[in-house]
Every structure is written in structure tokens, then in C-alpha cells.
Amino acid sequence: MAQKRALITGITGQDGSYLAEFLLTKNYKVFGLTRRTSTPNYERIKHIEDKIELIPGDLLDQQSITSAVAYSKPDEIYNLAAQSFVATSWSQPVLTGEFTALGVTRVLEAVRQIKPQAKFYQASSSEMFGMVRENPQNESTPFHPRSPYGVAKVYGHWIAINYRESYNLFIVSGILFNHESPRRGLEFVTRKISHTVAKIHLKQADRIVLGNLDAKRDWGFAGDYVKAMWLMLQQDGPDDYVIATGQNHSVADFVEEAFGVIGVKNWKKYIHVSKQLFRPAEVDFLIGDSSKARKVLGWRPTVGFTQLVRMMVENDIKLLRANSK
């Protein structure tokens, strides 16, 4: 059988790097779209850089996306690139719409015109549920996004479904709940906590400044979630799936668990709450029902909450120690 070819947009991000690793273990030829930066930002993929091929391109630039699809001739396209930080979507709402919403249409257009037989994965998000209408959330729960990011993701979700229905393409949308890892960006709450707790342990910091401690999220491990993306494209037909652990915890729970890893019980004395970190509109409570994915794809998470927090804190301690040598 000929070697399968995959194109990943967002390969330098958390999920892109885990997905590229995963596809290499499946013997794929992996291509990644990367945008121009003044200094290289290949930190997450440097260990596999010689095994993948990077193609310059940007979600704002139709021609570069079309060329990347023409050059890579992919059997599978994973559209992971986006402005993915919810907080930034209020300060840069138009850019978020350009990247996270219209960017999807640009990639879909390239596929439709150049490689319509390719299978396409769209990175949808639990942020589309926003002010939730039911608990837990599943594939038929109505959307009520609460940020410009969430609104842009709803557009991306529906344009993907529209292209599937209009042109009979193999397009799936994965509605993924929060997934974290030692490669999570430092601005997201889990990594901000694990990294600062590691610093406190090493006496490089003395407090964590956080916003809303009461928000609850269904947090899983990114390594598990990229496998679900691949499984969706291996089915006989295209469909949409929720991917989640089915358990949620508050930001405060995450903080407590992280301090537990370094043996600190009275964690509250290290927390400073800043009103500036509260969002104009909050998503208070998310919990996913992934029973469809478990039944149809045979997918299930392998890393639980306690293990995830430990993995992140221990990795940050190791990283900080190595950096201070």
C-alpha cells in the first residue's frame, strides 16, 4: 500500500506536534503548514523536524494554502491552525474571525479545488456550547458561544458541515473539550498553574495571579485527543464527534492538585485573584458526553485528571531545572 500523506495546519502548536508524532508512528508522510516568524518557533516539533516537511503558508493567504495542498497532495488534512486563546479574542476580535472562522473556508476552498478526495478534519471546540443548554454536552446540544473565539468556532464548524453537504466531501468536525499537556501554551490556565507551581517549588516565584477560580472544565490529555482526530478520518463516512473525559473540575481544584504534587497543603496563601483576568463573558461549566466516540470510534481517554496535573507539574520542574543550569 502506498504511504499515506497528511497535511497539518497548526503543526507548531500543542495538538499539531502530538498529531505529527502520532502520524509518524503510523508511517504517514507528514507535511505541516507554518507561517513566517522573525525567529523560528519550532520548539514543539524540533525532535521530529527531520522526519516532517514544512510548507510556508498562512490562514490569511488563500494562495499559500492552495499551493500547500497542491504540493503535499494529502490523503488527510487536519485543520488545527487558529487564534486559539479565548482571552485574546476580545482584544483582537477581527483577527480571530479572520483566522479561526474565515481561515477554515480558505482551507476548505483549497481542498475543494485541488484535492476533493482528501479527508478533512476541522478542530471544533466545546467553547461553542458556551452558556450551556444541557449537561453533559453532546453532538446535538445547541450552541451559545460566549466569546469572539467561540463565535468564530461556530462559523468554522458550520462551514465545514456546509462543504460536506454542498460538495459531498469527507469532512469531519471534532468537538474537543479542553485538552492539556506539558506542551500547552503558557497563557492557558493549566500550564500557567503548573509552571508557576514549579517555580514556587524552586523558589523562583512566590505567588500565582489568577482570574475566575470557579470556572469548571472537562480537562483531558492532548496525546489522547489527537488519536481521536485520526480515528474520525478512518471511518467509512464523515460525521461529528464530541471528545471529552466526562469529568470536570474547577480552576481551584487544578490549583490544589498542582500544589499537592509539590507537597503543599495550604495553597490558598499563594493565590492572588486579579479582576483584570476575569473575562467579559465567562463559560462557567463544561462537561462532555463522548459516548458516541467511545461507541463508534472505540476511543477512550487514558490519562485522568490527577495524572495529567502531575505530568504537567513534574515536567515544568524538570524544564526549569534544566534551564537554570
Which residues are near ligand NAP by CB under 6 A? Answer: 9-10, 12-16, 33, 35, 37, 41, 58-60, 80-84, 99, 123, 125, 176, 178-179, 185
Show contacts with ligand F7E in window 65-94 (CB under 6 A). 84, 86-87
Rounded to whole angstroms, the Cα distance separating 247 from 115 reads: 39
Residue selected from 215, 242, 258, 297 as contacting ligand F7E according to rule CB under 6 A: 215
CB proximity list for 311: less than 8 A, separation 6 or greater: 181, 182, 221, 303
Of 191, 197, 287, nearest to 246 (Cα)?
A: 287
Rounded to whole angstroms, the Cα distance separating 203 from 215 reads: 28
Shortest distance, position 179 Cβ to ligand F7E, whole Å: 8
Shortest distance, position 155 Cβ to ligand NAP, whole Å: 12
Q: DSSP character for 83?
A: -
Q: Which stretch binds ligand F7E (CB under 6 A): 27-35, 187-195, 292-300, 306-314?
A: 187-195
Residue selected from 122, 126, 194, 196 as contacting ligand F7E according to rule CB under 6 A: 126
Q: State yes or no: residue 240 binds ligand F7E (CB under 6 A).
A: no
Of 13, 62, 56, 3, nearest to 33 (Cα)?
A: 56
Q: State yes or no: residue 132 binds ligand F7E (CB under 6 A).
A: no
Rounded to whole angstroms, the Cα distance separating 226 from 39 reads: 27
Rounded to whole angstroms, the Cα distance separating 233 from 76 reads: 8
- Asked about 127 being catalytic, the answer comes back as yes
- Asked about 282 being catalytic, the answer comes back as no
User: Angle between the 305-323 and 251-261 helix axes, to the nearest 10 degrees?
Assistant: 60
Residue selected from 48, 102, 202, 277 as contacting ligand F7E according to rule CB under 6 A: 277
Active-site pick, 127, 147, 163, 290 = 127
- Asked about 125 being catalytic, the answer comes back as yes
Helical segments of 186-245, H only: 189-201, 222-233
Q: Are 44 and 15 in contact (CB under 8 A)?
A: no
Q: State yes or no: residue 251 binds ligand F7E (CB under 6 A).
A: yes
Q: State yes or no: residue 214 binds ligand F7E (CB under 6 A).
A: no
Shortest distance, position 167 Cβ to ligand F7E, whole Å: 26
Which residues form the catalytic set?
Answer: 125, 127, 149
